[in-house]
Structure 1
C-alpha cells in the first residue's frame, strides 16, 4: 500500500509502497478514505514532544484523523465487522486499564497516540491498523461522508470535550478562543452551538472571517491591538467566562488566562513546541486573586461521540464546515511546511491516496 513515511524531521515525507497491516487478535484494519492533516502532525514532523516521550522516529507513518471502512478484523473482535463505517480517535486506549474502565480512555494508562509511536503506525496511508478495535473504533452515522468526519478523530472532538465536558459553558457565557486554526475554528463552532458568545483571536483576517462564519460574534486581530487580553475584557464586559488556548505557545496561553474575568476557566488544549518544551509561565498571582482555573484537556473518550452525532443530526454541529480543502497524499509535506508559518486554514483532508 502507499504511505507517507517520515525519513527525517522537517524534511519531505517519502511516498512509499509498504506492507499493508494485518489485524492482531483484538485489532481491525481500516481502509482510509479520508485523513485530516493536523498541527499535531506538524509537531511530529518537527520532532517535538521528546519531553513527553513522543518524539517521532524515522520510519513512522504520521496521520491521526482517519475515517473509512473496516476491511479486516481480528479473531477476538466482537463488536466491529467488515464494512463498518468508522472514525478513529487519535488517543487510542487499551480498553482494560483503570482509566478506560472508568470511561476516561482519553487518559488511558497505556495510551497509544496514533501515528506518533511505532506500535501504532498512522493513517497517511491507504490502510491503518487500530488496536483494541471494540474499544476504540467509533461507528459513524448513516449518510455522512468520510471527508466530513475526518477531523472528528482529533480536532473537532478535542474541542468538544474541552468545552462540553471539562469547562462549564452556559448559554450567554463569553468564550474567547485564542488561535483559530483547526482546533480553534472547531471550538468557535462548538461554543456557539452550546449557546456561548464567542470571541475569536488570531493574527490573520481570513481565519477570523471564517470564525465569524462559524459563529464568532466578535473577533480580535492580535496584530492590530496593543493588549489582546484588555481587548477581550472590554468586549466581554470585564472578562471571558471561559477561554481556550488552541495553539500552544506562551503568548496565546498567557493571553487566554489574562482574558478571563473573576472565577473564569482557562482551557489549555494546544501543545507546545521546542521553544517552550512543555513549560509556560502563568500569571499565578492574578489566578489566585481572581480564582481562575487552569484546565488541561486531551482528546475525548469514544464512548461520548454520540453526543456530537446527536447535535450533527439536528444541524447544531456541522463538522464539514471546518474542512477547508481536500488534497492528495503527495501534498501532505506542502501542508506541513505551510503550518510552520500558520498559513493553513481549517482542516485540510487527504482523500486521494
Structure 2
C-alpha cells in the first residue's frame, strides 16, 4: 500500500510503498476513508518534541486523525466486525490500566500515540492497524461521513475535552481563543455551543473572518496589547482563555488576559523556539488564583458523548473543513504549514 513516511526530519516527505498491516490479536485493520492534516503532523515532521522524549523516529508513517471502515479483525476482538465504520483516536489506551478503567485513556501510561510511535503507524496510508480495538474504537452513527469524522480528529477532540471536561465553563462566560487555526476554530465552535461568549485572536484577517463566521462575538488582531484589549472588551478579563498555538507570546497573552479565578487551557504544542518551556507570571497567577490546565485529545470512552453532540446539530465539524486533498498532496500541505497560512481544517481522502 502507499503511505506518507517520515524518512528524515525536515526533509521533503514522499509517498512510499510499504507493507499492508495485519491486525494484532486484540486489534483491527481499518481502510482509511479520510484523515485530518494537523499541525502536530508538522511538529512530527520537523522533529520537535525531543525536550519531552516525543520525537517520531525516522521510518514512521504519519497521520493521526482517521476515520474509516474495519476490514480485518483480530481473534480476540469482541465488539467490532468487518464493515463497521469507526472513529480512531490518536491517543490509544491499553484498556486495562487504572487510567483507562477510570475514563482517562487519553493519558494511558502504556498507551500508543497513533502516527507518532513505531507501535502506532499512522493513517496517511491506504490502511491503518489499531491495537486494543474494543477499547479504542467507536462505531460511527449512521449519516456521519468520514470527512466530518476526520475533522473531529485530535484538534476538535482536544478542544471539546478541554472545554467540556477540563475547564469549568458556565454559559455566558467569556472565552478567549489565541490562534485561529484548526484547534482554535474548533474551540470557538464548541464554546459557542456550550453557551459561552467567544473572543478570537489572530494576526491573519482571513482567520478572524472565519472565527466570526463560526460564532465569535468579538475579534482582536494579534498586534498590540492583546491582554489589555481583552480585559477592556470583556469588562475585566476572560473566564477561560486558550492558547491554541503554543508559542510564548500567545501563552503569556492567554494567562495575562484572564480575570481573577480564571482558567488557562493549553492546547497548542511548543516549537523549537520554546522547546517546551515558557516563562509565566507565577506571582500574578497566585495572586489572582489562576488555573493552568492542559488538554490532550479525549478519552475514547467519551466519544459517544461528542458524537451525540454532533448528531444533535449543536456542533458541525464539517464547517471547519476548508480543503480536501488526495494522499499524494499531503507532503506539500504539511510543508505549507511553515507559513502558518492554512485556514480551518484540511482533510486527506486517500
CA contact (8 A) 2:31 2:71 kept: yes
- Correspondence list, 1:254-333, <5 A: 254-333=252-331
Question: 1:172 is matched with which residue?
Answer: 172
Q: Structure 2 CA distance, aligned partners of 1:56 and 1:327?
A: 24
Is 1:70 equivalent to 2:77 in the alignment?
no
How many residue pairs were aligned? 350
1:46: which partner in 2?
46
CA offset digits 1:310-344 (Å, max 9, x no partner): 22122111011111110011211221122112111
Question: How far off is 1:18 after superposition?
Answer: 1.0
Q: Distance in 1 between matches of 2:245 and 2:139?
A: 29
Q: How does 1:134-173 map to 2 (within 5 A)?
A: 134-173=134-173
1:238 aligns with 2:236: yes
**Structure 1, unaligned runs of 5 or more:** none
Distance in 2 between the 1:193 and 1:43 partners? 30
Alignment match, 1:8: 8
Asked if 2 retains the 8 angstrom alpha-carbon contact of 1:98 and 1:109, the reply is no
**Does the 8 Å CA contact 1:327/1:349 hold for their aligned counterparts?**
yes
The alignment partner of 2:187 has SS state of helix
Task: Measure the CA separation in 2 of the matches of 1:278 and 1:235.
Answer: 31
Q: Which residue of 2 aligns with 1:229?
A: 227
Q: Distance in 2 between matches of 1:22 and 1:38?
A: 26
SS at 2:60 equivalent: coil
| Residue aligning to 1:127 | 127
Gap regions ≥5 residues in structure 2: none
Shift of 1:153: 2.7
Describe the SS at the equivalent of 2:152.
helix
* Displacement of 1:151: 2.3
Mapping 1:176-191, distance limit 5 Å? 176-191=176-191
Report the alpha carbon displacement of residue 190 of structure 1 after superposing the two structures with TM: 0.1
**SS state at 1:56 partner:** coil
Alpha-carbon distance between aligned partners in 2 of 1:31 and 1:328, rounded to the nearest angstrom: 15
Q: Deviations over 1:22-49 (max 9, x none)?
A: 0010010000000000000000000011
Contact residue 171 and residue 194 of structure 1 kept, 8 A: yes
Q: Which runs of 4+ in 1 moved over 4 A?
A: none
Query: What is the RMSD of the two structures over their aligned residues, measured on CA atoms?
Result: 0.9
Q: Which residue of 2 aligns with 1:60?
A: 60
Contact 2:14 2:331 in 1 (8 A): no
1:55-107 Cα offsets, whole Å, 9 max, x none, are 11221100000000000010000011111111111111111111011110011
Matched, 1:251 2:210: no
Are the aligned partners of 2:138 and 2:304 in contact in 1 as well (CA < 8 Å)? Answer: no
3-state SS, counterpart of residue 61 of structure 2: coil
CA distance in 1, matches of 2:239, 2:99: 29
Give the distance between the partners of 1:336 and 1:17, measured in 2 at CA. 19
Q: Secondary structure at the match of 1:216?
A: coil
CA–CA distance in 2 between the matches of 1:307 and 1:210? 26
Q: Quick check: 2:99–2:108 contact (8 Å CA) kept in 1?
A: yes
- CA distance in structure 2 between the partners assigned to 1:297 and 1:154 by the alignment: 10
Is this contact kept in 2: 1:308–1:317, CA < 8 A? no
TM-score calculated relative to the size of structure 2:
0.98
Deviations 1:200-256 (A, max 9, x none): 001101011111111100001113xx2001111111110000000011111110000
Partner in structure 1 of residue 118 of structure 2: 118
Mean CA deviation greater in 50-59 or 103-112: 50-59
TM (normalized to structure 1)? 0.98
Q: Secondary structure at the match of 1:71?
A: strand
SS in 2 for 1:68: strand
Residue 209 of structure 1: aligned partner: 209
Q: Is the 8 A contact 2:150 2:347 kept in 1?
A: yes
Where does residue 89 of structure 1 map in the other structure?
89
CA distance in 1, matches of 2:257, 2:333: 31
Query: SS of the residue aligned with 1:175?
Result: strand
SS at match of 1:252: helix
| Aligned equivalents of 2:249, 2:111: Cα separation in 1 | 29
